[in-house]
């Protein structure tokens, strides 16, 4: 009996080890369908509009005009030339909109299967949560590159709020960054500098687990350039993080302070004065302005 029970335990342990050692299956149909639909639909509608304009208006009224002077003296050639950049801008807007709309549809489908939630996701255990995490990552890549590498980068916050993966507050500006497309929550009038990272997801080591937690910023927060904020970071209202700083996971920073360093720590008045080459009069002015703002809020 003891031998049988021992063998049974060994078999169960071996089965557990096999489960742990399993790789996450790649669901290629999700990636192919997602990319093809987003890419095709986002280009086909503005493409049709653009070529209709080219063949129906630009070619006959402008390119086929025999007399050069008529281009500027006749209404049709002149309008076809003037409307050309406007049509290009409209097509670029439509491309961005349809890329966001199709991505929003597929993102909503994944949310219905299993909503995105905070937690630690093991990479070596096959699960619906891990699979959907990678699928959402892939789906968001194309619209993100479209907006960041395009001519309307200021639509970044609108796009991901529209998709539903972030919650950026009114008046918030996000410069080009690696992350920032999921679980980023900010108050109003925040600024995230170039190459800063609202890193809501972080892989610990090459084969480590995925830490997936929201990054939250209060109102009027500024995150300097080259500043990664780890998963679970929370900045209070009116916080300023100097460029080249970094936060650890689950950092909670009180509002109304300046922060610097890796990991971040408060920058006191005397250090701030030295760092920014400020005079005593500058600090007094800043304190009076801060008091005035607080009094205005109370009133």
pLDDT tens string 108-147: 999 999 999 999 988 778 888 888 998 999 999 999 999 9
pLDDT tens string 48-73: 999 999 999 888 888 777 777 777 77
26 and 120 fall within a common domain: yes
Q: Is the pLDDT of residue 40 over 60?
A: yes
105 and 170 fall within a common domain: no
Mean pLDDT of 289-296: 77
195 and 294 fall within a common domain: no
Mean pLDDT of 191-213: 86
- When comparing pLDDT for 73 and 180, which is higher? 180
Please give the Cα distance from 210 to 203 (Å, whole number).
Answer: 5
On whether residue 148 sits in a domain, the answer given is no
27 and 92 fall within a common domain: yes
The token pair at 174 is 């996000």
Grade residue 292 by pLDDT with cuts at 50, 70 and 90: confident
Q: pLDDT at position 22, please?
A: 62
Q: pLDDT at position 16, please?
A: 47
Cα–chain center distance at 291 = 35
Q: Which domain range does residue 100 map to?
A: 12-133
On whether residue 232 sits in a domain, the answer given is yes
111 and 24 fall within a common domain: yes
71 and 26 fall within a common domain: yes
Please give the Cα distance from 130 to 114 (Å, whole number).
Answer: 11
On whether residue 146 sits in a domain, the answer given is no
Percent of the chain clearing pLDDT 70 (strictly above): 89
Mean pLDDT of 238-261: 90
Specify the DSSP class assigned to residue 56: I
Please give the Cα distance from 253 to 236 (Å, whole number).
Answer: 6
192 and 101 fall within a common domain: no
> Which among 112, 133, 154 is the end of a domain?
133
19 and 112 fall within a common domain: yes
- When comparing pLDDT for 294 and 104, which is higher? 104
pTM of the predicted model over 0.85: no
Q: Which of 63, 66, 43, 45 is nearest to 54 (CA)?
A: 63
Q: Is the pLDDT of residue 29 over 90?
A: no
On whether residue 220 sits in a domain, the answer given is yes
On whether residue 161 sits in a domain, the answer given is no
126 and 26 fall within a common domain: yes
Q: pLDDT at position 178, please?
A: 84
Q: Which stretch of DSSP H or E encloses residue 222?
A: strand 222-223
On whether residue 145 sits in a domain, the answer given is no
Q: Is the pLDDT of residue 2 over 60?
A: no
Please give the Cα distance from 62 to 103 (Å, whole number).
Answer: 38
- When comparing pLDDT for 202 and 279, which is higher? 202
> Which among 113, 133, 153 is the end of a domain?
133
On whether residue 155 sits in a domain, the answer given is no
Grade residue 250 by pLDDT with cuts at 50, 70 and 90: very high
- When comparing pLDDT for 277 and 51, which is higher? 51
Q: Which of 93, 183, 202, 182 is nearest to 141 (CA)?
A: 182
Instruction: Give the pairing type, strands 191-192 and 173-174.
Output: parallel
199 and 119 fall within a common domain: no
Summary mean pLDDT of the chain: 85
86 and 195 fall within a common domain: no
Please give the Cα distance from 190 to 237 (Å, whole number).
Answer: 10
- Our count of domains for the chain comes to 3
pLDDT tens string 12-26: 444 444 445 566 677
- Provide the angle, in degrees to the nearest 10, between the axes of the packed helices 75-113 and 28-53: 160
The domain that holds 250 is classified in CATH as: 2.160.10.10
21 and 49 fall within a common domain: yes
Please give the Cα distance from 216 to 251 (Å, whole number).
Answer: 10
On whether residue 152 sits in a domain, the answer given is no
Classify the C-alpha dihedral 38-41-45-50 as positive or negative. positive
Q: pLDDT at position 1, please?
A: 46
Q: pLDDT at position 3, please?
A: 45
Please give the Cα distance from 246 to 57 (Å, whole number).
Answer: 54
């Amino acid at each position: 009996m003891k031998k049988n029970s021992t063998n049974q335990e060994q078999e169960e342990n071996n089965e557990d080890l096999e489960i742990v050692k399993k790789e996450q299956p790649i669901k290629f149909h999700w990636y192919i369908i997602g990319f093809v639909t987003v890419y095709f639909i986002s280009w086909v509608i503005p493409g049709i509009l653009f070529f209709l304009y080219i063949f129906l208006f630009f070619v006959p009224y402008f390119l086929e005009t025999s007399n050069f002077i008529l281009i500027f003296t006749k209404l049709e050639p002149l309008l076809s030339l003037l409307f050309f950049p406007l049509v290009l801008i409209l097509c670029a807007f439509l491309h961005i909109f349809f890329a966001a709309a199709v991505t929003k549809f597929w993102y909503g489908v994944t949310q219905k299967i299993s909503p995105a939630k905070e937690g630690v996701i093991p990479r070596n255990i096959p699960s619906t949560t891990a699979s959907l995490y990678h699928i959402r990552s892939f789906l968001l890549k194309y619209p993100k590159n479209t907006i960041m590498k395009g001519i309307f980068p200021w639509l970044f916050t609108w796009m991901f709020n529209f998709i539903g993966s972030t919650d950026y507050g009114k008046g918030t500006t996000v410069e080009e960054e690696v992350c920032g497309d999921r679980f980023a929550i900010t108050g109003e009038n925040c600024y995230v500098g170039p190459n800063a990272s609202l890193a809501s997801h972080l892989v610990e080591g090459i084969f480590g687990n995925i830490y997936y937690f929201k990054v939250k910023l209060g109102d009027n927060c500024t995150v300097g350039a080259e500043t990664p904020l780890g998963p679970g970071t929370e900045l209070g209202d009116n916080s300023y993080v100097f460029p080249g700083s970094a936060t650890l996971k689950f950092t909670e920073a009180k509002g109304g302070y300046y922060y610097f360093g890796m990991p971040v720590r408060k920058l006191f008045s005397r250090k701030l004065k030295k760092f920014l080459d400020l005079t005593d009069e500058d600090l007094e002015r800043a304190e009076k302005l801060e008091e005035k703002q607080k009094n205005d809020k109370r009133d």
